Amino acid sequence: MDVSDAPTSTAEPAPQAVFLDLDNTIIAGSSALAFASTFARHGLVDRATVARGAWAQLLLVLAGADASTMDTLRRRMVLICQGWEVERVRAIVAETLQEVIGPLVYPEAVRLIERHRAQGAEIVLLSASGLEVVEPIAELIGVDRFRATTMRTEDGRYAGDIDFYCYSEGKAQAAREIAAELGLDLDRCAAYTDSITDLPLLEAVGRPAVVNPDRELRAIARERGWPVLGFVRAASRRDRLFRLRDRLADRFTPGGAGRGTAADGAGRGAAAGGTDGRAAVRPPAPAGRRTRIAAATGAGLAVLAVAGMARGRRRPRPLIRPAS
């Protein structure tokens, strides 16, 4: 669905701030996987790790990831990236940022950001990816305010642990801190994300919406009447996987068939501010054993997501012009 067709309300004021996830919300797929081959060419990871990461990502796209899976990825990640030279990986990504990330940005996400900015909303990027990769991507898409995962460094190298993990409750806490800094009312703010792990963020704001959601988040969005947006790119295999996953979810999720997405009608009340969207639902089922094992063995994917390092020495051309 084109974001321009998303439900809107003329009665409700524009949101004070809009909190946006990065992977599968603003860009197609994982910022980690996008740079995997580049890092492999420079010897930071081997080809086997890249292949295992791609397989893990495929399973996660189809089945989603629960907290246990993501915790396993995080622990493996910090071990693998320990000792990486920060400046080296920053330089590698700086050289390829525009060509790697630019084509992945969803046009609908660009229009969404432009529309909310025109309404006067503060645009905030929240991502579990590393600060060094999120900062240049934020610049690329014209977003000035962001929070991301920060890795501890010693003598210019990654020390093997995390100072702040901008994930799950961490994203919600970041949103609360930003709201306090700017004097914002979170009940008058919006959030967009794709993953069940970001449920705390969605529940923290008054206007939650989901983009390309995983199975569990899609079910919750329908239950609570949240808008469900589908961002696509032409000839994208990943987007075709998203559509296949959604069709399977519609078929096998109880009550899924025939209900339609929130964006197609069920969520219009929530988008217009007509409900608090907090109906009780059952907790999502955990990811299957095959998903957890493949995700763990594909730890290189998560490594690049959190430590995927890119403070650009060359300033990228913004895809969205920053607010004047």
Please give the pLDDT value at position 49. Answer: 65
Q: Is residue 95 part of a domain?
A: yes
Question: For residue 59, what is the domain's CATH number?
Answer: 3.40.50.1000
Please give the pLDDT value at position 204. Answer: 98
Q: Is residue 27 part of a domain?
A: yes
Distance CA 179, CA 205 (A): 10
Q: Is residue 1 part of a domain?
A: no
CA 15 to chain CA centroid, nearest Å: 20
Distance CA 158, CA 247 (A): 41
Q: Which two tokens stand for residue 267?
A: 């969520």
Q: Is residue 22 part of a domain?
A: yes
Residues serving a catalytic function are: 21, 23
Please give the pLDDT value at position 295. Answer: 40
Distance CA 113, CA 115 (A): 5
Q: Tally the domains of the chain.
A: 1
**C-beta of residue 126 within 8 angstroms of C-beta of residue 179:** no
Q: Is residue 81 part of a domain?
A: yes
Please give the pLDDT value at position 243. Answer: 52
Please give the pLDDT value at position 285. Answer: 44
Q: Is residue 184 part of a domain?
A: yes
Residue 36 belongs to what domain range?
14-307
SS (H, E, C) the chain: CCHHHCCCCCCCCCCCEEEECCECCCECCCHHHHHHHHHHHCCCCCHHHHHHHHHHHHHHHHHCCCHHHHHHHHHHHHHHHCCCEHHHHHHHHHHHHHHHHHHHECHHHHHHHHHHHHCCCEEEEEEEEEHHHHHHHHHHCCCCEEEEEEEEEECCEEEEEEEECCCCHHHHHHHHHHHHHHCCCHHHCEEEECCHHHHHHHHHCCEEEEECCCHHHHHHHHHHCCCEECCCCCCCHHHHHHHHHHHHHHHHCCCCCCCCCHHHCCCHHHHCCCCCCCCCCCCCCCCCHHHHHHHHHCHHHHHHHHHCCCCCCCCCCCCCCCCC
Please give the pLDDT value at position 5. Answer: 41
**C-beta of residue 186 within 8 angstroms of C-beta of residue 16:** no
Q: Which two tokens stand for residue 303?
A: 């490594």
The residue among 237, 200, 268 whose CA lies nearest residue 104 is 237
Please give the pLDDT value at position 64. Answer: 54
If the chain, 324 residues long, is cut into consecutive pieces of 10 residues, what is the mean pLDDT of each piece? 46 90 90 77 77 58 59 71 85 86 92 96 95 88 94 93 94 98 98 96 98 94 97 60 50 43 35 35 42 40 38 47 51
Q: Is residue 7 part of a domain?
A: no
Q: Is residue 54 part of a domain?
A: yes
Distance CA 246, CA 285 (A): 16
Indicate the Cα dihedral angle 236, 35, 142, 205, nearest 10°: 80
Please give the pLDDT value at position 274. Answer: 34
pTM of the complete model: 0.71
Distance CA 200, CA 134 (A): 21
